[in-house]
Structures are given as structure tokens and as C-alpha cells.
Amino acid sequence: MAISLDDNGSELITPIRPPLLDVLTLEQLDPLLYLGRSHTASPRIYGGQAVGQALLAAGHTVPDDRRPHSIHGHFLHPGNTGVPVVYHVEKVRDGGSFNTRNVKATQNGLVIFQLTASFQRREDGLSHQSLEAHAPEPESLPDFEDSLPEEERITAAEWLRTLRANIAVDFRFPEEYPRVANARGETRPARQRAWVRTSEKLGNKPLTQAAAWAYMSDLFLLSSALPPHGITIDEPGLQLASLDHSVWLHQEFRADEWHLYEQEGIWMGGGRGLARGNLYDRAGTLVASTMQEGLLRLRKPGRAL
């Protein structure tokens, strides 16, 4: 990561991003066994990496004309970036239109993540969507760092450095990111949205593009439940971790191009939160949807979510 100063002496954040093409490349050990590696300095595996790599492993075992449309995963144990992950694929069903795969991700014999993925042969059908999205074009928006006042840029520098260095995603916010308001002690509705894309071009393989979206889909999602409480994920005593994660891909699209990711934290209670997301292309077409439940436990005397 390169750190420099601007003309006013403020710190500029120029991180070295993880090599996403390497993250999304698996080594085949056996016909149903694959090995994936991390490429960050963070000690803990980013959840989206496990989702993306597991989807790749599953996708390598289905015919080329099948596309993933439904992904359901459970995070069981934290993953260690210093240890390769072995993905064990189980062929559950091979039908005329659909293929189903189970994938177990293990480290040192411990299952850290498991995923069920369904693939479908391309076909035409009735089509509609009930949701709409409108936002300024991403090119008209500043980089996140440039949208912040100087004093807030300094406050955000530490978590931004960590995020930029460990997750290979570009993002721009059409509105103020609620985390910034929460850091000021203000509350906001449980909604947030960002234009997102991978930080590098990924080629034309549909499976790689789908896995890249699976990788991105975990970004920010669970934190959308926090704005009403006026706290950020850095709140002392807050435990935040994904428990289960679902992705539906409604059509093929390129994850390395800008898409609008709208997120809403629809419920919180009992130390858990539930969030949903919708991904739109520039024309407002809904191309993917997500749901995630996660641990949001605040261990702080006298204060509870």
C-alpha cells in the first residue's frame, strides 16, 4: 500500500489491492476437489472470498451451458488466510435443466464454510420486475475519499486502508455513506447503496464474472442494519460476523462493470441482524439479489442493540 500526502498535507490512500484474478483461480486436485488461496495480509478470510471460490469449484463440475442462479452458504468457522482452503464438491443432481452442487470448504480438516449452488440451462421465459432504481451515474460521483471533509477523511483513513488493501472492489456512494454519519454519533435509516465493480478486468468467462459478483456480494451488506443505532462496525464490544448468505443471479452480467448495490437492514434482534440487497445495472434492470443474516452482538454494559 502506498501512502502519500496531498497539497494540504492530508493523507492519501493508495492501497495495493488483492489480485482478484488470482483469488478467483483454483487449483484442481481431483475431479471434485479444488484448492483456493488468499492473497491479503489480513489474518481472517473475507466472507465473499469463500463464497466466490466455492461457487467456482461447483461451477467447474457442471456443463459449460449451465449458469449459476441460486447460491446459499453458511459460515461455520473463521478462515485463516495463511492456510489454503480445500473445496470438496458433491454432485447432488444432474437434470435436464438444472444441476445442484454442495461444496464444503475445509482448512486442516475443519469445515469453515459450506455452500449449495444451483445451475440452470439457458432458456427464455416470462419476464418482469417490480423494483426500480435511480441514481447518479458513477462517473459523476467522486471517489469516496474525495467526498469527505478533511476531518472525516482523517477519521476514515484507518478503516479505509484496511478495506482497500484486503478487498478488491471499487465503490462510490450516491449519498453520504451512513457509516460516516454514525461515526459522528448520528443515526440514519437502515438503508445504503453504492456503485460497485471489481478493481480489475476479469475476462469474458461467465462463471468467473458470477464468482466475482459472489465475492463482492458480502461487501457492506450486514452493516446496513447498524445506521439506526448510530454505531459503526468499529464500535467497542461489537461482534459482527456473517452467519448465512444467499445470492440469486437473475441474468448474466459483468461484475467488472459498475452496478448499483442497494442494501437494507430489515431487522435486528437477539444479537443477530438480517439484511437484503438488490443489484441493478445502469438501465435499472435487476440483475441479482442477496440476503444475509449475521451476528451483531454488542457486549457493552448499559447499552444494547
* pLDDT tens sequence across 113-139: 999 999 999 999 999 999 999 999 999
The band of 149, judged by pLDDT with boundaries at 50, 70 and 90, is confident
Q: Is 218 a catalytic residue?
A: yes
Does residue 46 lie within any of the structural domains?
yes
The percent of residues above 90 in pLDDT, for the chain, comes to 87
Q: Does 1 score more than 80 pLDDT?
A: no
Geometric angle at alpha carbon 300, from 297 and 305, rounded to 5°: 45
Q: Is 94 a catalytic residue?
A: no
Q: Does 200 score more than 80 pLDDT?
A: yes
Does residue 278 lie within any of the structural domains?
yes
Does residue 105 lie within any of the structural domains?
yes
Does residue 244 lie within any of the structural domains?
yes
CA dihedral 50, 112, 297, 288 (to 10 degrees): 30
Q: How many domains, in total, are found in the chain?
A: 1
- State the average pLDDT for the chain: 93
Using alpha carbons, list the distances in angstroms from residue 253 to 68, 117, 212. 12, 18, 11
CATH of the domain at 108: 2.40.160.210
Does residue 56 lie within any of the structural domains?
yes
Q: Is 239 a catalytic residue?
A: no
Does residue 305 lie within any of the structural domains?
no
Of 107, 209, 242, 263, catalytic: 242
β-strand pairing of 238-249 with 272-280: unpaired
| Per-residue model confidence (pLDDT) at position 302 | 54
The predicted model scores a pTM of 0.93
Q: Does 4 score more than 50 pLDDT?
A: no
Of 192, 218, 224, 256, catalytic: 218
Q: Grid coordinates representing 270?
A: 437477539
| Residue 280 · residue 133 · CB < 8 Å | yes
Supply the range of the domain harboring residue 146.
Answer: 2-124+136-298
Does residue 35 lie within any of the structural domains?
yes
Of 107, 209, 224, 292, catalytic: 292
Does residue 304 lie within any of the structural domains?
no
Count how many Cα atoms sit within 13 Å of the Cα of residue 107 in the half-sphere of its side chain.
18
